[in-house]
Structures are given as structure tokens and as C-alpha cells.
Structure 1
Amino acid sequence: MSKTPNSSTIGLTPEGLEKVRERMAQLPRPEKPDKKGWTNGDLAEKSGVSIDTVKRFLKKERIRRDFITWIAQALNLEITEIVHRHEWNPPSPPATQIDWRETCRVAAQTKRQAANSFFANDLGRKIDLNEIHVPLGLIERQQKPQPRDDFSPQTGSQAYQEAEKLTPLSYDEFCEKVLANSDSPKSKGKRLAVIGEPGAGKTTQLFKIGDRILAETEYLPVWISLAEVKKPLCQYLIEDWLRIAAGKLDAAPAEWVKEFNELLTAGKIWLLLDGADEMGIADSLGTLSPQLRERVFDKVRIVISCRLNIWEATGNSLSDFDTYRMLDFSYGDGENCDQVKLFIDRWFTPLNPPLASYALLTSFLTKALRPRPERPPGDGSLGVGLTTRNRLN
């Protein structure tokens, strides 16, 4: 299957590859100036990209635009000498009175602020999830459900055995490979599920994905908390999300509806659906499945988050989704950093050590003892806190 070009990535032209090879052959080796001919490793070191990125670049595969810039600078080549000029500088889209990028940013920011307010600590200091975010890796999952008659959400994911034999992806590798380059086995990056235990960081992951979409692509992220969806998704988008985004009490203006439908049809929208397990219905994934297969979503890219045990029980309803499980926070093993310590340091950065020790205990005990209905959609900051408290015991 051919890959649809992504405007946030770009590849070499045949002529560009020839120029790159020619320039690499002319340049003196960094450690042996008397010899000419850069290796792939030399280009990686001088440009600041990974060796794997260099290899894909030299195979004329599409890589991120900023990587192209760094490589061209390292080789002292003009970017338009090695890629298509019109693809590098595409014509500007027609002017519109509706700023859809700002609309999507503000809509997501409203949800982010609600999450931030929950994590305001007990010393009165507000918490910004962006400041305490620790990027966690993911692993592509082969789903092998084992049905259980006594299944309930409270039993957790321990009732299921995972078959995860693929190499884990770091946060950046996931963003580049799966999100930017649409490299996933089933859907080619079009249908993705992010699953994990409660508190694994799924909600934060969707926020960060939305940030990347706005910062690095021409696409528009529409972030939706599925706990608020009490009607068919397509209906909710127009009657609720779009109405609120337009700042109206009754209904979204006709021009908003028209342009939004055009954006959906043109495949300019990413749907970021958070918390399929929090919809308050028995089979949320089974309910969503036919809705996500409606023609209006044919060209829309979708990322959905869900608790691990719920996905294991009913995830076959969305069997066309590529599934990625959030990895746990690491405690450091020589190769990987101590992510638990990193999170704690970021949470208590404004405090001096004596206050931090006291605040760590009181803050997480308060969260742990708070009545369950007040718990927000899962977020890694809460999960790592409770994990740390249990380990200390």
C-alpha cells in the first residue's frame, strides 16, 4: 500500500540523492582530515540526527522537515537542491475567517486546564502537566484476549497475559515513526489505540500528541473526552464540540458546520478520543466501533485511549486499530534514566528538600484517600506518585 505524503515530512529527489552522495564523497573525514568521504555515521554526528534517520534519508524515505534542514546545513547544501521546491514551500491555503488552528488549541487547552486544576498540590501551588510531563515509551501490542466469565473492571489487567515481543519505542521514536511517518502495521498510522493501566499517562499522551500535530503539521487535532459523549460521536462533534468551540449557546453557525465538514472530508482532522473506558456504558468500544466506521471518518486519523483491562476484554471491536501500550516509569538501570526520580524532581522543583519530603507524603495520601468518583481521567503523574508511595513502603 502506498503511503500518503505527510506535509510534516519530506524525502529526497533522485537528483537530490545524487548531490548528497557527491558532497559526502568530497568532504574530509572529521577524525581524519587527510582522507575524504563522509560515512553515514559522520553525517549523523555532524547533523545531529540518528544513524537510522540518515539511513532512511539516503533511501529517499520521508523524514521530518527539521531533520532535512539539519542535514542540508551539515552538507552546506541548499534545501531546494535536494527536495522538490514546491513540496518544501507549498502554496499558502486560501484565507478563511475561521482560525481553525487556534480554535482547536483553545478547545484542548480548556480540557488541559481542568486536568491541571486536579493536580494542584495541597500546598496551594498549581501544577502544569507540561512542566511535570515525563515522556514514556510505548510498545506495539499483539492482542491475544482470554475471555473470563468473571471479568470486571476492578479485577485489573492481571487476568490477561500479554504477548509483547516487539522492540519498545521511545516517546520520540513513536512520534516520528508512527505519527509523522504513518508507519504502523494495520492502519498505516490512521487508527491508533493507546492503552495502559489507570494513571499510566494516557490522557497526557493525547495532549502531547495534539501539541505535536499543531506544532509540526498542517492538520487539526480535535481533543474529546469520551466521558462527556452521551450521543453518537458524529452528532456530538457538531452539536456540542463545534458549538462550544464557536462560543455559541444554541448551535454552531452554518459556516462553521460547512467548513468543519469540509475539513473532515478532506482528511485534515485528527480525532483524539480520551477515555473509552469512562463512557459509562457496558460496551463502550463496541458502541464506538460502527460510529468510527461511518463514511465521514474515512479520511480522519483517530487516536483513542483506553484502560488496559477494558481493551483486553472488548478491544476486538476495534480490531483495525494498531495498539500501543504505555510502558511503566523506569527506576534507572544504567541504560535508561530514573524516570520516577525525574518526575518527583519536576513536581517539587519550587520546594526545598525538607518541604518536598513532607509534601510528597501528604499530596499522594490525599489523592489516594480521595473518593473514587472524584478521580479524573488517568494521568501518569498520579500513577507514578502512587507507585512511588507503595515502593517506599
Structure 2
Amino acid sequence: MKLWDGWDDFLKLIASDHNLTVEQKAVFLVRFARQNIDTKNQDIADEVIGGEPEKALLAYNKRMKEIFGKLSESFPEVSSEDKGKVKRVQACLEKVYLEQQQHKDSETGSAIASHDWTQICRDMLESQKLNIRRQATEVVSKAFYVELGLVERKHQPRRSSDFSVSPEQGSGFFQLHEEEITQTYEHNEFLEQVIKQGQSKKSQGRRIAIIGEPGAGKTTLLEAIAFSPKTPGFPIWVSLGSLRDKSLEEYLREKWLKDALKTSDVSEQQKELENLFKSGEVLLLLDGVDEMPASSPVEALAKLREELTGWVADARTVLTCRQNVWDASVNALPGFDTYRTLDFSYGESNKPNQVRQFICEWFSKAEKPELGEPLREKLDEDRHQRIRDLVKNPLRLSLLCQSWYFRQGDLPKTKAALYEQFTRAFYDWKQELFPTVPTERQELNTALGLLAREAIDKEKSRFAIRESFAIDVMGEDLFKLATEKLHWLNFVYKDAETDEKVYAFFHPTFQEYFAACAIDDWDYFLNHNNDNPNPFLQYKNKDCVYRVFEPQWKEVILLWIGIERDEEFRKHKDNFIKALVRFWDGCKNLYGYRTCFLAATGIAEFRDSKLADLIILLIFYWGFEKWEESNFDPIAEAAREIIPEIDHPRAINQLIYYRDNSQNRDISEEATYILEKMGIRNQRLHTISELPPLTEEEKDELKKLESIIEQALNEKSRIIKERLAGIQAEPEAMINRLIQLMEKNINNEFIAEVLKKVLGYEHLRLIVKKIKEYVDINIEENEYFDYLYDVIWHCTQNMTYPEFYQAWHGEPCSVQAIEN
């Protein structure tokens, strides 16, 4: 094979990596073809564009300017204003091409060289490109990448009553979270320093985790890594949701390899693949840890840790994961350097306004630059502070731009209203190619809602929906409309066991929104019988239901609360908020705190709820007033943590009041920290519109609620998050021994951590049972009770309510032998 035989294919790959349009690609491929190195620009223009020579040259120059702009992402020297750009680009391209050829040549004759694995991996990536999760918009051809922050997790010491810092070091007071950003990277810096040069503290670029919330650009970044000329080695992409019941090793040998080689018999090539991994040159790109079929985030991370063993562990690995899943276990994947996708900035000091930049670029690319400024002005209005925060997320900002492109006007007040607007924008976006009428849209929305709800409730992996399941729920005609035309649902992979197609909503957040729209009655989330909270027990003609305690339903619940329909539905939402606040569990109301916290988060989506004032009063009482009485209280800490989620004018006013008027320095500084976390720095107290006056019936109800809540204020402790390991004993005897040591006040904090973190999920019921025995003998005044209460609060976060209730009230539970 001659040296330059692969040049044309190389140019096509470069064009694809840099998102060149059809017109740009045509010019690029001809201009930089080997036979055209010395050809004049006019001749290229005449060949590619044609027509009148002068106009053809103008069009050629315009396209070349656009091409240079895109190539400058990978080749900074191209951005120079000096003449001779074509020659500089040619030199850059030749350098990259020759490096790749040299790498190929070095592998010749080795055990892995019987196939051209570079080409096989690249071809496989190209075939997967359409199935890699669809991006939020196809209007903008140039990706707008988010910054990344290097995360280092640090144990935070417990505060003592005399804790203080000098004013000059006041920021040290606010380091309350277990992770902090130690370095930020722009997109090209990350590709160059971390991916290409391997500059990372723990793993030298061999173990990289990219975490962030949905729509934060994780998959977009992973795709950029996969296709970047800066990326060394053999990139292999795996969507982790496609593993199903197979191990990662089995998937690579049996599924990926067959697809890559386009053959069903890969028995001879499996050893080559193993050797390829053992060479250390494979770059394994694992997308969506949160989409793995697992019962909990901790299980998903533990499962992945088990998968990254054997020859698979020899690869360089870059994975993406939702932040809440990654944070569920601090040490699940300890060898990984963690990089968090950072929100777009919006007016923060010393930072460019990335939201405004994105809007400007979006509408410029959409050839409607005049629409950008009105949207930016609308976002700047004080009443749209919540929307400003939402659109710091790239997906939601893209959708907002799409929505504004089709419908200029006002901005919504809740996430549900925002997604309703996004949904209309989605149909408008597709209308030219696949027109739909309102009745057809409504019918499809109803079917999508039912599918979304049932998938979250019943599918093994809630975001991965089997084709047969979808057709059973939606019907074949609506399924085809959603998949083949509108692409609300997109094919992502085939099940390795059954070969059945698996689909997903074009983004998981839309699945949650559609699910919320499909729920009419709040007892779908909560139907409580405290005498016996058995999920199979009939109560008020329905099964007992406790979805309010299941994390996969939280976002659905918040979206449901934000839906606007009629006055009857508004009363329905008020009744749900009321049920959350008055929930009583018969287990020292530990779960009652959780429902109150959910109600507090909910009033951000339902600001005119008549219970808003009472809920805010409770949260601030637990978070600040009770905290002032004791610095060691997990409920107080949990209450303060959710205040940013409340995002209600009254809550903001209360924080401002504490900041400016509290005589307690800790409370003043804590309020300042929370306000800054919410993006509020210099705001003063502001006028709040009055709610409608309460009826006498509502006043009586509030008095009853206040009485119920007062019964729940009896507890002290705090949550310390740290993983410990290294204990082996028979579980029941060990738990008894640990609690006996706590009675003697011997290293209580350490023992509490052993009970919380070393023992597995299967031992939580036994821990609850044993601690309940101590609680029953009224030892609340003893110091070690604080730590026992800390352990119990941990159990409520990791057990369903029926499980906890049965353990608390002495139901028998089986205990497996503890593992080291």
C-alpha cells in the first residue's frame, strides 16, 4: 500500500469530525486532494461551484473561510490572519495523517495486525454515529461545548460550636460539600491535555469519568473525543444501557466484534481483540453509567467496577455518568479522575456570559440573528430568574432557542410549562418534513405519556424501552409515527440476548415530562395506610403506594406539580402538597421529613400553593432555628441542602433576612453561602404579591398540620459521608458489639460509619431492628443516641418505606453472611 493511498478517506473523516456542511465538504475534499495541492483557487471554484467565474470565486472564498473556522478547533495555527492558510492547513493535515500511518506501520507483524483495527474501529464509530443519542438541535452545525471542572473529593470535618474563621478567610466556611473544582478546562484544552497527553492526577489519562446532569453535554463531549484527530489509539464506543444481562467483556467479544467485522463467526478474532486491549492502545468510551440495568446507583457503579477487570481493564477508559449516580458512592471507582460538566455561565463575575454567547451563535447559525437579542433581554428580567438557571443546561438552552425561533413572546414559570413549550417547538421543528395536526399530536402525546409512565414503573432499565413493550402500550401505528417520522423515540441498540430492538426517548427528561402528563391522580405517587403499609394491601380501594420515596419518580412528581390545567386540578395539587406535609409514618416520622422536603421542592413549581408559607417556615425552622440549638443534626443539614431547590420568593427573602440581620455569624454566613449557590449575591428584600386569603376551613387545616409537625421535632444528629472498609464478622453479633461500644462512647463517629457504609444493603433491616430496641428504652439524652439516629436516617435514604416499616415493627428479616 502506497503512503498516500488513504488520503481521501482521511479527508472525509476530518470533514465529518468537524461537522462540515455538504457544500463545505465538497470544497474541502477538492481543495486538499493530493492532485490539487498547487491548483489555483479559481480553478477549484470553477470545478466545484461553476457558473460565472467571479461569483464562483466569491462563493469559494466564503466557504473556505467557514472551513478554516471549523478546522481552527483542532488546528489553532489556522486562525492566524497571515496569508498562506491553505498551505498551513495542508501541512497540519499531512502531519496528522503521517502520524496515523506511522502508528499503523508500527503494528504490522504484531499479534493484532492481521486486521486493520484502526480502520475497523473508525468504521464502527461511523456506523454507530446515527445511533449515538440524538443531540438537542440540528439547526446549529457547530457544537458549543461546555467547560469541564476537575473534581477532588475531600472529607469535611464536623463543625464544633466554637468553629470560626477570620474575615479574610471567610470563604473557607463555605466549603461544605465533599467535592470542589480544582481546575477548569475549555474543550480543546481538555482534548489536548487530558485525552491526548494524559495529564491527569490519578490515572495519567487512563481512567476518566465525565459526570453531569441530563442534557449537560456529556454524550456530546464523549462523541467529540471519539471523532477528534487529537484522540490516540483505537476508540471503541459502548452504550452501557445496551449491555442488558451481559458483562462488558461478553458484549465486546460477542456483540461489538460481530458488528464491527460484519460476520457472525468471530471465534478466531476474539483473541486478536483481547490482544488489542492488552496492548494498552484501546480507548474504551462508555456512555451512560446511569442507564445500566440496576436497582440502585450504588449497584450500577459496583457492577461497572466488576466489569472493568481482566483484559478489559488494560484499555484506557472514558465514561459518562449522571452526577447523582456518581455521587451515590464516593469510592465505587476510586481510580478515576473525575471531570464535571459545568453549567454555562450567566453574568457571573470574571466569566463570559456563555448563555448569551450561545443564543447569539444559535440564531446566527439559524440565519435569524435579529431574534437573539429579544430573547436575551427577556431572560434578563428579574421574574425569569428560575428560567435563567434552567437554561444554563445546554440541552434546555438549545430547546429554548428552538421554541423562541418558532414562537416569540413570553417565558414560562415552571419546568412543566417550559417542557410543554419545548414539546410544541419539537413538533414545529419537524412540521416541514412530517406535518401533524393538533388531534394527531394529542393522541401521540397521550400514548407517549402512557409509555413513559409504564417504562419508568415496569421496565428493567427505565430509559431503555423494548420494541415489543412500546408497541403493546402505544399500538403499532403510533409507535411508527414516534419512531420512523417524528423521532420522539429513537433506536439505540439491539438486545444481545433476544436481538430485539431497544428504543429511548430523544432525551430522558422528555420521558419524565410525558410520564407526568399521563398521571391524573396524586394517589399514583402516594396512597398511605399507616396501620400496615404493605404495597399489596388494599387501601381506599387501591394498593398502598409509596413512589414519593423512589428516586426515579422525583423529577416526574415535580413536573406533575408544575402542570397547569384547571381550577379543579389546582385543588388536586394542593391536596397532594397537604398529604406530603401531614404524612406520618409511625417510625419517629423519619419518612415524614422526606415528604416535607419533597413538598418544599414542589412549591417551586407551584408557587401559589396555600401551604407555601407553612412549608417554608418548617424548612427554615429545621434548617436554621433547630440548627442553632444543636450543631449536630442530620435533619437540619438535609433541610439546608434542599433550600436552593425551593427557589420561592419567600424563601429567598428569608435567606436575605438571615444574611443581613442574624446575630449568629454561622447562620448569616450559611445564608450567604446558599444565596450564592443560587446565583443571588447583592439582591435586597423585595415585595412579594399576597396570596388569596385563607378560608376558615383552610385555617383549621393549617393548625392541624402544625400540631402534627410539632410531634416530629425530637431528634439530633448529622450525616457524615465517608466510605470505610475492612471488617469481617457475623452480622448480628457485630452490630450488637458495635452498639455496645457506642454506649461506652468509644469512637462513636467511626462506629456509625461502619454501620452505614461497611455493612451492605442486605443488612439494613437488621440494623434498623437492633437500633429500634435501643430507641424503645428512651435513651435520647445519651450522647451515642445522636450517632444511632444518624445511622437510622441513613437507612431511610436507602430503604423503601414498607421495608423500613416492617423492620422497625419487628417483622422477621433474613440476613446473609457479610462479605469482606
TM-score bracket for the superposition, by shorter chain length = 0.5 to 0.7
Partner residue of 2:214? Answer: 198
Q: Please name the residue that 1:28 is paired with.
A: none
Q: In the TM superposition, what are the counterparts of 1:16-95 in structure 2 within 5 Å? A: 92-93=105-106, 94=108
Change (3 A) 1:305 1:116: closer
The CA distance in 2 between the partners of 1:113 and 1:331, in whole Å, is 32
Using the alignment, how far apart are the partners of 2:146 and 2:290 within structure 1? 21
Give 1:247's match in structure 2, choosing from 257, 262, 275: 262
1:225 corresponds, among 239, 246, 264, to: 239
Counterparts in 2 of 1:238 and 1:317: CA distance versus 1, 3 Å = same
Q: 1:177 and 1:191, CA in 2 relative to 1: closer, same or farther beyond 3 A?
A: same
Matched, 1:112 2:159: no
Is 2:217 the counterpart of 1:170?
A: no
Give the match's secondary structure for 2:141: helix
Pick from 310, 319, 341 the counterpart of residue 325 of structure 2. Answer: 310
Residue 288 of structure 2 is aligned to residue 275 of structure 1: yes
1:357 aligns with one of 395, 404, 407:
404
Deviations 1:57-99 (A, max 9, x none): xxxxxxx9999xx9xxxxxxxxxxxxxxxx9995823275633
Deviations 1:165-190 (A, max 9, x none): 41322222222221122121111111
1:375 aligns with 2:474: no
For the residues of structure 2 that align with 1:187 and 1:367, how far apart are their CA atoms? 43
Deviations 1:222-244 (A, max 9, x none): 01100101211001001111111
- Write the distance in 2 (CA, Å) between the matches of 1:112 and 1:332: 35
Is the contact between residue 149 and residue 340 of structure 2 (CA under 8 Å) also seen in structure 1?
A: yes
Deviation string, structure 1 residues 101-121 (Cα, Å, up to 9, x no partner): 33222322343323475646x
Q: How many residues align?
A: 278
Q: Deviations over 1:275-315 (max 9, x none)?
A: 000112131110110221x2303431001110001100025
Name the amino acid aligned to 2:216. A
Q: Tell me the equivalent position of 2:275.
A: 262
Match of 2:119 in 1: 102
Distance in 2, matches of 1:187 and 1:195, equals 17
**Distance in structure 2 (CA, Å) of the matches to 1:105 and 1:335:** 40
CA deviation string 1:300-340 (max 9, x = no partner): 10011100011000252101111111111123668544433
Task: Choose from 144, 156, 162 the match for 1:134.
Answer: 144
Identity percentage over the alignment? 33
Give the AA of the match of 2:234.
L
Are the aligned partners of 1:132 and 1:343 in contact in 2 as well (CA < 8 Å)? no
1:195 and 1:366, CA in 2 relative to 1: closer, same or farther beyond 3 A?
Answer: farther
CA RMSD of aligned residues (A): 4.0
Instruction: State the distance in 1 between where 2:183 and 2:116 align.
Output: 40
Q: 2:360 and 2:233 mapped to 1: Cα distance?
A: 34
Q: Give the drift of 1:269.
A: 0.4
Q: Give the residue type in structure 1 aligned to 2:311.
A: V
More helix, by proportion: 2
Tell whether the 8 Å contact from 2:118 to 2:234 is kept in structure 1 after alignment.
Answer: yes
Partner of 1:323: 338
* Unaligned runs of at least 5 residues, structure 2: 1-73, 81-98, 157-175, 372-401, 408-417, 427-444, 453-462, 464-503, 510-604, 606-820
- The structure-2 alpha-carbon separation of the partners of 1:317 and 1:376, relative to structure 1 and needing over 3 Å to count, comes to farther
Structure 1 position 364, deviation (Å): 2.4
Q: TM-score, normalised by structure 2?
A: 0.30
For the residue of structure 2 that corresponds to 1:106, the secondary structure is helix
Secondary structure of the structure 1 residue equivalent to 2:129: helix
Verify the 8 A CA contact 1:138 1:169 in the aligned structure 2.
yes
Q: Which amino acid counterpart does residue 219 of structure 1 have in structure 2?
A: G
- SS across alignment from 1:223: strand
SS at match of 1:216: coil
Asked if structure 2 preserves the Cα contact closer than 8 Å seen for 1:272 and 1:303, the reply is yes
Give the aligned partner of residue 44 of structure 2: none
TM-fit CA distance, 1:366: 4.2
Is the 1:145–1:312 Cα contact (8 Å) retained in structure 2? no
Matched AA of 2:214? P
| Alignment partners' CA distance in 1, 2:352 and 2:338 | 25
Structure 2 CA distance for partners of 1:175 and 1:247, relative to 1, 3 Å: same
What CA deviation, in whole Å up to 9, does each residue of 1:106-139 have, x standing for no partner? 322343323475646xxxxxx27x8241122111
Is residue 193–residue 323 contact of structure 1 (8 Å, CA) maintained in 2? yes
Q: Is 2:322 the counterpart of 1:287?
A: no
Rounded to whole Å, the distance in 1 between the matches of 2:303 and 2:100 is 42
Seen in structure 2, the aligned counterparts of structure 1 residues 338 and 114 have a Cα distance that, compared at 3 Å, is farther
Q: Is the 8 A contact 2:146 2:187 kept in 1?
A: yes
- Do the aligned partners of residues 301 and 116 (structure 1) sit closer, same or farther apart at CA in structure 2, a change above 3 Å counting? closer
Return 5+ residue gaps in structure 1 as ranges.
1-63, 71-86, 121-126, 147-159, 380-389
Offset of residue 266 of structure 1:
0.7
Residue identity matched to 2:318:
V
Q: Please tell me whether the aligned partners of residues 132 and 347 of structure 1 are also in contact (alpha carbons under 8 angstroms).
A: no
Kept after mapping to 1: 8 A contact 2:202/2:335: yes
1:137 touches 1:170 (CA, 8 Å); kept in 2? yes
Answer yes or no: is the 8 Å Cα contact 2:147–2:185 preserved in 1.
Answer: yes
Is 1:187 aligned to residue 203 of structure 2?
yes
**One-letter amino acid matched to 1:179:** I
Q: Distance in 2 between matches of 1:274 and 1:351?
A: 33
SS of residue in 2 equivalent to 1:167: strand
TM-fit CA distance, 1:211: 1.5
2:235 touches 2:282 (CA, 8 Å); kept in 1?
yes
- Structure 1-normalised TM-score? 0.60
Tell me the SS of whatever aligns to 2:201.
Answer: coil
Choose between structure 1 and 2 for higher RCO, CA contacts under 8 A separated by at least 6 residues. 1
CA contact (8 A) 2:210 2:319 kept: yes
Q: Distance in 2 between matches of 1:198 and 1:218?
A: 28
C-alpha distance in structure 2 between counterparts of 1:189 and 1:335, whole Å: 29
Say whether 1:143 aligns with 2:153: yes
Indicate the SS of the match to 2:304. Answer: helix
Q: Could you tell me whether the CA contact under 8 Å between 2:213 and 2:322 is conserved in 1?
A: yes
Structure 1 contact 271–303 (Cα < 8 Å) conserved: yes
Rounded to whole Å, the distance in 1 between the matches of 2:362 and 2:421 is 11
Cα pair 1:191 1:320 within 8 Å, conserved: yes
Distance 2:332 2:305 in 1: 6
Give the counterpart letter for 2:196 in structure 1.
A
Summarize the Cα distance change of 1:163–1:118 in structure 2 as closer, same or farther, 3 Å threshold: closer
Query: 1:112/1:343 Cα in 2 relative to 1: closer, same or farther (>3 Å)?
Result: farther
Match of 2:177 among 154, 158, 161: 161
Residues in 2 aligned to 1:109 and 1:162: alpha-carbon distance in whole angstroms: 39
Task: Give the letter for the 1:271 counterpart.
Answer: L
